[in-house]
Amino acid sequence: MPAGRPGQQQTFAYAALLQEVLEPYLSSRGNTGRQVARGVHVDPSTLSRYRHGERLPPSGFNAALQAFLTSRGLPIPEADYRRLISLHAGAQAASLSPTHQLALRKQEIHELETARTTLAEDNRALQGQLDEHARDLAALQDRTDRELGEAAARYRRTLDALGSVRRRLAQAERERDGLLAELERLREVEALAARQERALHAAARLFREQAEDIDTCRQQNAELARQVTTLQQQNLNLLDERTELNRRYAAALSRQAAQAPAKISGWGYPHIKEPGEEYGLPPDGPPFHNPGVPYAPRRGWLARLRPGSRQA
């Protein structure tokens, strides 16, 4: 920029700040100034003049630059953006000469023409892209229609398979219900078998107890048999004793009859004692229960027959 040009300091300050806000984007790998120029719709050489302070950009440049950098994920900080607009406005206000204004307007017209040409080229490129996209979209539509037809056929087949699966599932559920009922019956049978097993164990225990009782009864019967044998032997001994007592009783009667006096008392006859009277026996002899059964003395007879007893 020539020396003495109005607004020179403000233009340099604006260019320095423009370089500063473009530095984060340009320092990233793969980013160039040509991309920035294309994004703000100016020629790359024009953008280079803006960056070096040789030219002052038009009024809409700052907003276009902010929109481009924001779309790339590196927006200008709010404070720097306000400073950029302020410096740009100051530089424009300082450049008040008609010649400079005319040159600036011509430059702006040229830039607008360049931007229009660039936009036309971009429009043609975009139109080509749109046509290509339309062809791709038509092909995609055809492919989508075919895929939709195939998907519909697959969907119908899936519905048929699903109906078959549902029928098999219903059959499986019925079989499951039958199996559950059978399982319930098996559980009832197991419970009945368990009760029967407990009953069998109780019966076996009762059988063992009864067997033990039978063994005890057998032992008791054997003991009773031994006692009966002993009692029979004692009975035989008692029979022998009774026979001996009868013999002694008969001998005593014989001796009494031989020693009796001949007079009878009261009537002039000698008194004759009845048989057994001197031994305290009843006058009619020993009380036999049955003439065919040997005599069994009643209780107390043996004591009265003993010597030294009161009735002996």
* Residue 60 token pair: 């809409």
Q: What is the pLDDT of residues 48-65, one digit of tens each?
A: 888 888 888 887 888 889
**How is residue 132 written in tokens?**
């290509």
- Tokens of residue 108, six digits: 């702006």
Q: What is the pLDDT of residue 297?
A: 52
| Model pLDDT, residue 14 | 86
Half-sphere CA count of 150, side-chain side, radius 13 A: 6
Q: What is the pLDDT of residues 140-197, one digit of tens each?
A: 999 999 999 999 999 999 999 999 999 999 999 999 999 999 999 999 999 999 999 9
Q: What pLDDT was estimated at residue 13?
A: 87
pLDDT at 167: 93
248 vs 94: CA distance, rounded Å = 185
At 269, phi and psi to the nearest 5? -105, 150
Residue that is written with structure tokens 């404070």 in the block:
79
* pTM of the predicted protein model: 0.35
Angstrom distance (rounded) from CA 251 to CA 30? 165
- pLDDT given at position 172: 93
Residues of the chain with pLDDT under 50: 1-4, 262-279, 281, 283-285, 288-289, 295, 301-302, 309, 311-312
Q: Residue 165's pLDDT is what?
A: 94
By residue count, the chain amounts to 312
- Which pLDDT score, from 0 to 100, does residue 179 have? 93
Quick one: pLDDT at residue 270? 47
Q: Annotate 59-75 with DSSP letters as a single string.
A: TTHHHHHHHHHHHTT-P
CB 33 within 8 A of CB 56: no
